[in-house]
Amino acid sequence: MKDFLYYRHCRHFPMLLDLPDKCGGTDLSSDVFLLLVIKSAPSNHVHRELLRKTWANERQQNGVWIRRVFITGTRGSDFEKERLNKVLELEHSQYKDILQWHFIDTFQNLTLKQVLFFEWMERNCPKARFLFNGDDDVFVNTNNVVTYLQSLEDNDGSKHLFAGHSMLKISPIRTPWSKYFLPVQVYKPAAYPPYCSGGGIILSGYTASVIYNMSQSIILLPIDDAYLGMCLAKAGLGIQSHQGVKSFGMDVPSKHVNAHDPCFYKELLMVHRFLAERLYYMWHSVNDPNLKCFGNIKY
Ligand SMILES: *[C@@H]1O[C@H](CO)[C@@H](O)[C@H](O)[C@H]1NC(C)=O
Ligand SMILES: *[C@@H]1O[C@H](CO)[C@@H](O)[C@H](O)[C@H]1NC(C)=O
């Protein structure tokens, strides 16, 4: 906490790896329908490889473009830091999907990472229509996300959208040993404004721009998803709960059904915390044209 407080006013960090042409320039960036913005720690090389091969694959889906960036900082000291930076550099030159800033990538610095990303977007990808913003250990049915976004009436990304697993009247954790600890001296209110769990959020380009603008006058807080809620509250905007986003895993109706039945996942947008081999299996299963699901599964 001391460390966080010491650095919370610092918002400008040099970029180690940049992708200024990711969205094809300011004007062409409107061709990016869905930008996947995935928070990834430098050491999560294996997760990134898997996501590139599965749901985060850059492609045209239903006639629109999906693009991907991993957002990251630095970790480790001396040789380890050098090695991790080299890995990221190699990935960056091979896949063109790494944005790296020179700050220490810790849980408390996730808000900083988020704000730095929105600033990058404002500069390099201002007209992207929608974003998925989430963790690198989630399963996202990006096909469904595109279908859902295309089904929105009169929102082409230029109106407010902020949807996910809603978190309402959540109180800050006041126990010092918790990862989410926030002393009253740092944040006084008894509850956060409404926000969506940070594992996976779907938002419009418009809302990203509003959040960035609001963040300029809101001091950083170490809980990144609650911070986004504060930015929205300041702008007078609400959040939307989406049934298809399962930030705390799936509730499978009974012990007798297979919790990894692809039919449960076929209609969802996102599920948190997936082991690598399950994620690989699930992505291939939900995309299998021969997958047969009977009836509507109720969640
Ligand atoms: C956040 O990043 C800064 C810059 O690298 C670092 O000095 C600070 O220790 C980090 N804060 C936390 C809480 O990890
Ligand atoms: C954010 O601020 C900039 C600069 O003041 C402004 O041009 C832009 O329209 C704002 N964005 C939104 C969505 O309000």
Q: At what angle do helices 110-124 and 205-215 cross, to 10 degrees?
A: 120
What average pLDDT does this structure show over 64-74?
98
Picking from 119, 103, 107, 35, the residue whose alpha carbon sits closest to that of residue 69 is 35
**For atom 1 of ligand 2, which residue has the closest CA?**
213
More confident residue, 254 or 202: 202
What average pLDDT does this structure show over 28-54?
97
CA atoms of 168 and 209, how far apart (whole Å): 23
* DSSP tag of 179: T
| pLDDT above 80 for 23 | yes
Confidence band, pLDDT 50/70/90 cuts, at residue 299? very low
What average pLDDT does this structure show over 88-99?
98
- Tell me how far the alpha carbon of residue 121 lies from the centroid of ligand 2, in angstroms: 13
**For atom 2 of ligand 2, which residue has the closest CA?**
213
| pLDDT above 90 for 260 | no
DSSP 44-99: -HHHHHHHHHTTT--EEETTEEEEEEEEEEE-SSHHHHHHHHHHHHHHHHHHS-EE
Q: What percent of the chain has pLDDT over 90?
A: 77
Counting from 1 in the atom list of ligand 2, the atom nearest the Cα of 210 is: 13
| pLDDT above 60 for 32 | yes
pLDDT tens-digit readout, 129-186:
999 999 999 999 999 999 999 999 899 999 999 999 999 999 999 999 999 999 999 9
Q: Ligand 2 in contact with 206 (CB < 6 A)?
A: yes
CATH architecture of 2-243: Alpha-Beta Complex (3.90)
Domain ranges of the chain: 2-243
Confidence band, pLDDT 50/70/90 cuts, at residue 92? very high
